[in-house]
Amino acid sequence: MKKIMNKPKDFVQETLEGIQFAYSDKLKFLDKDRRILVSAFPEKKGKVGIVTAGGSGHLPVFLGYVGKGMLDACVVGNVFASPSASKMAEAIRACDFGAGVLCLYGNYGGDHLNFSMAMEDVAFDEIDTIAIQVKDDVASSADPEKRRGVAGMVFAFKIAGAAAERMYSLTEVAAVTQKALDSIRSIGFALSPCILPEVGTPGFTIPEGKMELGMGIHGEPGISVIDQMDADTLAGTLLQKLLEDMPLQAGDTAAVMVNGLGATSLEELFILYRAVHRRLEDLGVSVYMPHIGEFATSMEMAGASLTLMKLDEELKGLMAAEAVTPFYTAANK
């Protein structure tokens, strides 16, 4: 296993410790077990808190977006595993600045169950909460309600965090975040697997010359195993899957994310982005704030995902607002 680590069982804790050493100006541990990271920026009384949670192995997702203008807290689970409900409740309590807390997380069974319990728990303390699940992966189900959350959640974190900074109420933050999510679609593909540190061997293989379209960020099976295609054809295929589900027309504006899953080079991501950009331009769609890089990974998996978010004026403004986190910085425009 070609991984830089110490004992596999310490993989998550040591990752978190490294992050905390590096970014102590932006985030800090809340709990003694060091599984809850909260913003190190001064609390803003009356601001809605934004809390997420999820398994490890997806950096910068999730905790890399804790700071100012995005998330107030993130609860961290083991690799590809949900953290506990009690830790989520602790994070929610810490992020109630008097205006309630939005729980914003990927649509995965464990995360949903645990957040539901945590929200029941904090209700006894009279903390208002609203839960929103990210369900952007069009490949994961034909039913929009059953879809998994993938890289599109980073756009949702940005919108929710910016709305909270503008002192929207909890209902308003939830409404604009849901509006954003209704306009976000993603699809990914994998070229090679990743290895769980505590397992040591890949959970699946993808033969040379093949790729898996629609594979999830934990290696969930995709739509189909297909022949590797060139970047331009691939861009067309990915875009088609997204636009079938959420049509865009000439005059529309969209944020675009080309997200590397881990082992794919930046050069390749830009070759893919080039093709996406050209096709959108051909359709008369304007690209706003393109995001190309690693935003939501599966450790050393090779492959990428494409996310589109259709924008109105409100969403454009929230995307452009200031954010300062370890892995996402936006200057106020």
Catalytic residue set: 58, 218
Q: Which residues contact 127 (CB under 8 A, 6 or more apart)?
A: 92, 93, 96, 100, 101
Q: Is residue 14 at the binding interface for a second copy, with CB under 8 A as the rule?
A: yes
> Which span sits near a second copy by CB under 8 A: 110-118, 130-138, 169-177, 274-282?
274-282
Q: Which residues contact 73 (CB under 8 A, 6 or more apart)?
A: 30, 36, 37, 38, 39, 49, 50, 51, 52, 66, 91, 92, 94, 95
Distance between CA atoms of residues 224 and 214, nearest Å: 7
Find the binding residues for a second copy in span 211-250 (CB under 8 A). Answer: 228, 230-232, 234
Distance between CA atoms of residues 315 and 289, nearest Å: 12
Q: Which is nearer to a second copy, 145 or 208 (CB)?
A: 208
Q: Is residue 172 at the binding interface for a second copy, with CB under 8 A as the rule?
A: no
Given candidates 106, 294, 305, 315, which one binds a second copy under the rule CB under 8 A? Answer: 294
Q: Which is nearer to a second copy, 65 or 273 (CB)?
A: 273
Q: Is residue 140 at the binding interface for a second copy, with CB under 8 A as the rule?
A: no
Q: Is residue 329 at the binding interface for a second copy, with CB under 8 A as the rule?
A: yes
Q: Which is nearer to a second copy, 1 or 123 (CB)?
A: 1
Question: Which helix or strand (DSSP H or E) is residue 189 part of?
Answer: strand 184-192
Residue among 79, 64, 76 at smallest CA distance from 11? 79
Nearest-approach distance from CB 22 to a second copy, in angstroms: 5
Distance between CA atoms of residues 120 and 6, nearest Å: 38
Backbone angles phi, psi at 28, to 5 degrees: -145, 160
Q: Is residue 60 at the binding interface for a second copy, with CB under 8 A as the rule?
A: yes
* Angle, CA of 179, 310 and 237, to the nearest 5°: 125
Residues that bind a second copy (CB under 8 A): 2-7, 11, 14-19, 21-22, 56-57, 59-60, 191-192, 194, 208, 228, 230-232, 234, 262-274, 277-278, 287, 290, 292, 294, 297, 299-300, 302, 304, 324, 329, 331
